[in-house]
């Protein structure tokens, strides 16, 4: 099984087979419009513009599971992201990434993308450790998504190549993307 085996719902409600992205490097990210990490949309858009012609696709999945930081419906979220951050990469329907309502794609990502801890060099790590520990006391020992803006890089064969937590510097994400391009 790989990422191409999944179908997801687009922002407009239509079904999209991830097989449509065969041969591309994918950056899959769960996002939120009211999060401290929301300004990462600027860097994600810059990365997309720089590498989309080389075979990068960024797939944006809004999620309201962490601090209810993605309020609004799909259209409101899309309007905010295109208006405020000018995103042009594909945005999908709002989803759950954890729990019984998690979409199958995210269940697979969790199974195949190991949580290796938060970036200890980032001052936000200590704060996020405390917040996440309240929600999941065993968070260090499982692969559940911990917060908004967790990123998975998928190689051109459809396999998870890397997982990056929200506070990881985007230059590290970009380096991995460019290695695979």
Residues assigned a catalytic role: 35
How far from 24 is each of 54, 64, 77, 86, 126, CA to CA, in Å? Answer: 9, 28, 26, 22, 35
β pairing state of 56-62 and 15-17 = unpaired
* Tokens found for residue 46: 């810059």
Task: Pinpoint the alpha helices (H) of the chain.
Answer: 40-51, 74-85, 104-112, 124-135, 170-180
Q: Collapse the DSSP code of 29 into the 3-class scheme (helix H, G, I; strand E, B; otherwise coil) and give the result.
A: strand
């Amino acid at each position: 099984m790989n990422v191409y085996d999944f179908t997801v719902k687009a922002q407009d409600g239509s079904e999209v087979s991830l097989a449509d992205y065969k041969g591309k490097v994918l950056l899959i990210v769960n996002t939120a419009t009211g999060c401290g990490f929301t300004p990462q949309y600027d860097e994600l858009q810059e990365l997309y513009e720089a590498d989309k012609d080389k075979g990068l696709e960024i797939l944006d999945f809004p999620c309201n599971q962490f601090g209810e930081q993605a309020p609004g419906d799909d259209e409101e979220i899309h309007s905010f992201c295109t208006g405020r951050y000018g995103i042009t990469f594909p945005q999908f329907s709002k989803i759950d990434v954890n729990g019984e309502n998690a979409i199958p794609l995210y269940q697979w990502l969790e199974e195949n993308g190991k949580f290796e801890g938060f970036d200890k060099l980032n001052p936000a790590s200590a704060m996020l450790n405390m917040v996440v520990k309240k929600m999941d006391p065993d968070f260090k020992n499982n692969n559940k998504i911990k917060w908004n803006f967790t990123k998975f890089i998928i190689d051109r064969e459809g396999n998870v190549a890397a997982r990056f937590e929200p506070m990881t510097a985007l230059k590290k994400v970009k380096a991995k993307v460019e290695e695979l391009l």
